[in-house]
Amino acid sequence: MQCRKADTPLYNITQSVVADSAMVVSPHPLSTQVGIDVLRQGGNAVDATIALQFAMAVVYPRAGNIGGGGFMVIRQSDGQTASLDYREKAPAAANRNMYLDSLENVIDGLSTSGHLAAGVPGTVAGMFAAHQQYGKLPIAQLIEPAIELAREGFRVSQEEADRLNRFQEDFHKYNEAPNPFLKENWMEGDLLMQAELGQTLERIRDQGAAGFYGGETARLIADEMAEGNGIITPQDLQNYQAKWRTPLTDTYKQYRVISMPPSSSGGVALLQMLKMLEPYPLSDYGFHSREAVHLMAEVARRAYADRAEHMGDMDFYPVPIDSLLADQYLLDRMLNFQTDSATTSDHILAGNFTVGIESFETTHTSVVDGAGNAVSVTTTLNSNYGCKVWVDGAGFFLNNEMDDFSVKPGVPNQFGLIGAEANAVAANKRMLSSMTPTIIEKDGKLFMVLGTPGGSTIITAVMQVFLNVAEFGMDLEAAVGAKRFHHQWLPDVIMVEEGGFSPELKTALEGMGHSFREVQSIAKVKAIQVLEDGRLHGVADPRNTDDDAKGY
Ligand code: DON
């Protein structure tokens, strides 16, 4: 086994590792270890994923969760695929004007913080649905490591300590009762113990999903809602179900991409962009050449424009997936593409980035087991620690996923994304996501498992890492580490990581009509590539010093 270690004193973190048979890449060394332990105990990739999802709820509280939701894409070793939607849902009392004042202006912060920002959590239902279909080891055994970590505590990393310090004011603002996260000055190595979360996890272990959606936990969530004028009811919890959906698959050259259908826009937009790129000689253009960046920005502009208009929860809105992915449609979409100038997005009011990208948080895990089964999962509370409301007595943060709805047509959410009717708030509807857990085959065999946090930038980040390998000849570590950029139609600007474009490239792109906004970092990809000799290369993103890849 070859590996490259990150310089972290507290944990043994590996950012790039090659192993013979199995691999786990997750956002925290303790959850990675839980996944590896389950694989070694004879669990499969789904078992490992379930165990590490519960463990992340403990050791990665800013995004790992039981109070949020996510998406899972599975490819079994025999080539069969599946995708699971355990995205949060709007409570039954939600309606399209719930974040507007009497003049129909958006009330600042209502969809992002506090009780009304929370959707009905889906994670626990998702884990049980996945286990019922694919689990090999008893689920109680898979939850046990999380219980232990919650009860006995763990040492927080520097990254987590920084986040906990940054959000103390919000924790005080939205919570009256004491909780384990409240502390004046968190330092790397401090012990975080979560007794109430441990008890909730025990109820889930002993009673199944009903240990979360019913009984004591549901009562505690309802009490929390009553205290903060929230609207999630015991009935909402009782009614929540995760949903198996047919994964979206299509080809790009000799590759087959398997990704998430709505309620995430990720799969559709990723495939649209790749299909629009396919006719062009991207590898001849070269990595970060003027031609490649221009072309990739232009296909992203078109895909995100479609996202804003056409995508939402397909249980509520007829998302025209077939039309959006039709070859002729995508060729037509590029008819106004000009090789030497940017197409402007100015016929609709520009969206705005209201929050620095570094304050967002989601998480992704990629797993391949010894038999070659692969799982790609992205899960989130949306922002760091979700809506900042900690369920008193039950010990976990609730999501602020309601902000992913279009709270008013044309008004951007925290990621600057706008939407319309397709993604309007409605009772029991899922809010549109950008999460893009993806698995890629090459010549019919498993080739890559990847995904990332990053809000709206998730889809373009997944695309870039794949293309860095498939078109620009990079190994996976270089592909994940390479500087990224992003375009999302509105605002009409290329977002680029600091230092990502040379002055010459910027001048050339400006000459074509592009403009830029520099950000500290874009996305944190966790990826596994199957090498030609069959070994697995796992790469954790150096942009998050907690990201960890381990294999054997
Ligand atoms: O579902 C979505 O698209 C967003 N709620 C994801 C949020 C996210 O990635 C924040 N993190 N970096």
Structure confidence by residue, pLDDT tens digits, 67-79? 999 999 999 999 9
Report yes or no: 14 and 3 within 8 Å, Cβ to Cβ.
yes
Instruction: List, chain by chain if needed, residues with CB within 6 Å of any ligand 1 atom.
Output: 360-362, 380, 382, 401, 404, 433-435, 453-455, 458
Query: What are the phi and psi torsion angles at 286 (to 5°)?
Result: 95, 155
Contacts of residue 66, Cβ cutoff 8 Å, sequence gap at least 6: 54, 57, 121, 123, 124, 200, 201, 204, 212, 396
**Band of residue 351 on the pLDDT scale cut at 50, 70, 90:** very low
Residues 295 and 460: their CA atoms lie apart, in Å, by 13
Token pair listed for 195: 């007794």
Distance 349 CA to ligand 1 centre (A): 23
Mean model confidence pLDDT for the chain? 95
What are the pLDDT digits (tens) for 374-402?
Answer: 999 999 999 999 999 999 999 999 999 99
Q: Which atom of ligand 1 is nearest to the CA of 383?
A: 10
pLDDT of residue 358: 45
Query: In the predicted model, what is the mean pLDDT of residues 253-270?
Result: 98
Q: How many residues are listed for the chain in this entry? A: 552
- From 62, 360, 378, 524, give the residue whose CB has the most ligand 1 atoms within 8 Å, as the site to mutate: 360
Q: End-to-end CA distance of the chain, in Å?
A: 7
Report yes or no: 549 and 488 within 8 Å, Cβ to Cβ.
no
What are the pLDDT digits (tens) for 465-487?
Answer: 999 999 999 999 999 999 999 99
Distance 512 CA to ligand 1 centre (A): 31
Name the residue with the closest Cα to ligand 1, atom 6.
455
Q: Which atom of ligand 1 is nearest to the CA of 458?
A: 9
Query: In the predicted model, what is the mean pLDDT of residues 365-375?
Result: 98
Residues 69 and 529: their CA atoms lie apart, in Å, by 26
Distance 88 CA to ligand 1 centre (A): 12
Asked whether the predicted pLDDT for residue 373 surpasses 80, the reply is: yes
Residues 425 and 94: their CA atoms lie apart, in Å, by 7
pLDDT of residue 343: 85
Contacts of residue 18, Cβ cutoff 8 Å, sequence gap at least 6: 1, 2, 3, 531, 535, 536, 537, 538, 551
Distance 112 CA to ligand 1 centre (A): 12
Residues 264 and 71: their CA atoms lie apart, in Å, by 8
Q: Which atom of ligand 1 is nearest to the CA of 403?
A: 5
Asked whether the predicted pLDDT for residue 219 surpasses 50, the reply is: yes
Report yes or no: 414 and 361 within 8 Å, Cβ to Cβ.
no
Cα separations (Å) of 351 from 32, 42, 177, 408, 411? 37, 49, 37, 12, 7
pLDDT of residue 354: 41
Residues 276 and 197: their CA atoms lie apart, in Å, by 46
**Band of residue 543 on the pLDDT scale cut at 50, 70, 90:** very high
Which is the catalytic residue, given 49, 217, 362, 380? 362
pTM recorded for the entire structure:
0.97
Residues 109 and 303: their CA atoms lie apart, in Å, by 28
What are the pLDDT digits (tens) for 97-150?
Answer: 999 999 999 999 999 999 999 999 999 999 999 999 999 999 999 999 999 999
Residues 252 and 274: their CA atoms lie apart, in Å, by 7
- From 380, 402, 423, 460, give the residue whose CB has the most ligand 1 atoms within 8 Å, as the site to mutate: 380
pLDDT of residue 359: 55
pLDDT of residue 5: 78
What are the pLDDT digits (tens) for 49-60?
Answer: 999 999 999 999
Which of the 8 DSSP states describes residue 175? Answer: -
Q: Which atom of ligand 1 is nearest to the CA of 435?
A: 3
Distance 379 CA to ligand 1 centre (A): 8
The residue with tokens 């570590």 is 477
The torsion defined by the Cα of 170, 172, 174 and 175, in degrees rounded to 10, comes to: 140
- From 313, 415, 484, give the residue whose CB has the most ligand 1 atoms within 8 Å, as the site to mutate: 415
Query: In the predicted model, what is the mean pLDDT of residues 485-512?
Result: 96
Question: Is 362 considered catalytic here?
Answer: yes
DSSP 489-505: SSSSSEEEETT-S-HHH
How many CB atoms lie under 10 A from the CB of residue 408? 20
Task: Indicate the residue type of 357.
Answer: I
**Band of residue 355 on the pLDDT scale cut at 50, 70, 90:** very low
- Burial class, 475, CB count within 10 angstroms (exposed 0-12 / middle 13-18 / buried 19+): middle
Residue 350 DSSP SS3: coil
Rounded percentage of the chain residues whose pLDDT exceeds 70 = 97
Distance 401 CA to ligand 1 centre (A): 8
Residues 61 and 397: their CA atoms lie apart, in Å, by 8
